[in-house]
């Protein structure tokens, strides 16, 4: 009996209708017939793939999809790869694909969707995330970046923000964000800022799309333990954001941001990989390559981590099934938590398996990498970089609270500041 059959609460994932499968296959054949990958420029092929509805098959028609079951995306990917078609380098644009796109799809206007989703998917426009701040990381709702509404000329100067013409005027943004991946490469950012300090911290926030090329946006590198500057701090000084770049209603930014955060945790920890790939595959190779360093204790640890990595891999597949039938839930937090712990334990084991060679790390260059590639680097890099896995995308401590409250149904921790106005909170 399968796990889906054993659990009455599990989402029922049915096979796509044959007619839908045939329609998707026909779309792939037509795309390849009109845009031969061998002779078509990469960006032209990707644009054509989006326009054919084969970028995200589960998205609506005209927005890169066909309104088909999400499970059919793997069919499209496999057939295009077999034909030698280029991909959109998903690891480089993961923030756009995994966080910005689903949020735009759910809360964006039709104009926003049609303007932003195509270049996001093709990789022509890179995205970053302006959420965390120096004083608001784990407690993100305590953020202090301010956005003040400036009404358009001719509108009621005394009306509250967002009243009257819902798409009039602009917002003046000031503040600082931190730990921003790819800010040095990004054209756009998803941004949350405080628009009403008189409300409790979760209620006075609004969600925006920020143009990273606008005046007043300054990006500075943050050098890490690895020697690289993969992350950035971003200073926003008098940045003007038109109101038509707002996502969701004024003051509803926390609700919109939760959609982003759930998708982020799925993107970080919920990916499905083949057996013995990723970090556990690297550690297993180190075991095979260094028989002289094997001990009974290391063998037992490797076996335990291999089993846990397999369990996480199957859980990731299960999470993918849940995504195929609805929105991501708090289960993504559990996957991200497991991902962080496994990466740290496996990287530590690999260093021990390699002996003195595991300590070598000879590249302390101040680099600005486009993406993080764990498996292509040396063991010392993996060990150091994995320390950040329990912080990025939500700290492990916060994720444990989410799992306790929203998955296990345990009573929430007392929150004395929940109903107090943000301006009255101590900082």
Active site residues: 264
Distance CA 292, CA 306 (A): 21
Is 65 within 8 Å of 58 (Cβ atoms)?
Answer: yes
How far is it, in rounded angstroms, from Cα 10 to Cα 318?
9
Residue 398 tokens, joined:
């916060």
Please say whether the beta carbons of 351 and 343 come within 8 A: no
Place of tokens 């799992």: 403
Secondary structure E strands in 26-166: 127-130, 146-150
Token readout for 338 is 């497991």
Q: Look at the block and give the residue holding tokens 């990595």.
A: 309
H/E stretch holding 283: helix 278-289
Round to whole Å and give the CA distance between 129 and 192.
9
- Strand-pair partners of 175: 236
What is the Cα 323 distance to its own chain's centre?
A: 14
* Cβ–Cβ < 8 Å for 275, 281: no
| Buried/exposed code over 181-213 (b: 16+ C-beta within 10 A; e: otherwise) | bbbbbbebbbbbbbbbeebbbbbbbbbbbbbbe
């Amino acid at each position: 009996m399968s796990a889906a059959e054993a659990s009455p609460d599990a989402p029922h994932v049915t096979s796509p209708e044959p007619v839908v499968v045939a329609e998707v296959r026909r779309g792939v054949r037509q795309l390849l017939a009109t845009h031969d990958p061998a002779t078509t420029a990469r960006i032209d092929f990707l644009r054509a793939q989006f326009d054919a509805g084969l970028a995200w098959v589960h998205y609506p028609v005209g927005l890169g999809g066909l309104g088909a079951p999400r499970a059919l995306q793997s069919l499209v990917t496999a057939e295009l790869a077999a034909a030698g078609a280029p991909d959109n380098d998903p690891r480089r644009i993961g923030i756009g694909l995994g966080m910005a796109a689903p949020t735009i799809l759910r809360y964006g206007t039709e104009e926003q969707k049609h303007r932003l989703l195509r270049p996001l998917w093709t990789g022509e426009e890179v995205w970053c995330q302006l959420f965390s701040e120096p004083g608001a990381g784990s407690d993100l709702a305590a953020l202090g970046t301010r956005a003040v509404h400036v009404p358009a000329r001719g509108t009621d100067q005394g009306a509250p923000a967002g009243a009257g013409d819902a798409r009039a005027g602009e917002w003046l943004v000031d503040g600082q964000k931190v730990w921003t991946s790819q800010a040095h490469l990004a054209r756009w950012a998803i941004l949350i800022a405080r628009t009403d300090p008189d409300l409790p911290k979760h209620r006075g926030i609004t969600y925006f799309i920020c143009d990273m090329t606008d005046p007043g946006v300054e990006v500075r590198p943050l050098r890490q333990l690895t020697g690289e500057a993969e992350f950035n701090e971003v200073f926003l000084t008098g940045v003007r954001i038109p109101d038509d770049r707002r996502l969701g209603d004024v003051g509803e930014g926390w609700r919109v941001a939760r959609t982003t955060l759930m998708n982020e945790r799925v993107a970080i920890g919920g990916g499905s990989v083949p057996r013995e790939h990723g970090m556990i595959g690297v550690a297993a190779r180190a075991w095979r390559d260094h028989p002289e360093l094997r001990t009974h204790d290391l063998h037992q640890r490797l076996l335990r981590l291999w089993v846990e990595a397999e369990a996480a891999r199957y859980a990731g597949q299960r999470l993918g099934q849940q995504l195929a039938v609805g929105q991501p839930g708090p289960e993504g937090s559990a996957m991200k938590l497991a991902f962080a712990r496994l990466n740290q334990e496996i990287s530590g084991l690999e260093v021990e398996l390699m002996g003195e060679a595991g300590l070598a790390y000879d590249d302390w260059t101040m680099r600005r990498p486009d993406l993080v590639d764990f498996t292509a680097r040396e063991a010392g890099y993996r060990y150091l970089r994995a320390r950040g896995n329990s912080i990025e995308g939500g700290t492990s401590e916060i994720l444990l609270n989410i799992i306790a409250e929203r998955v296990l149904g345990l009573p929430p921790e007392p929150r004395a500041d929940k109903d107090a106005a943000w301006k009255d909170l101590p900082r």
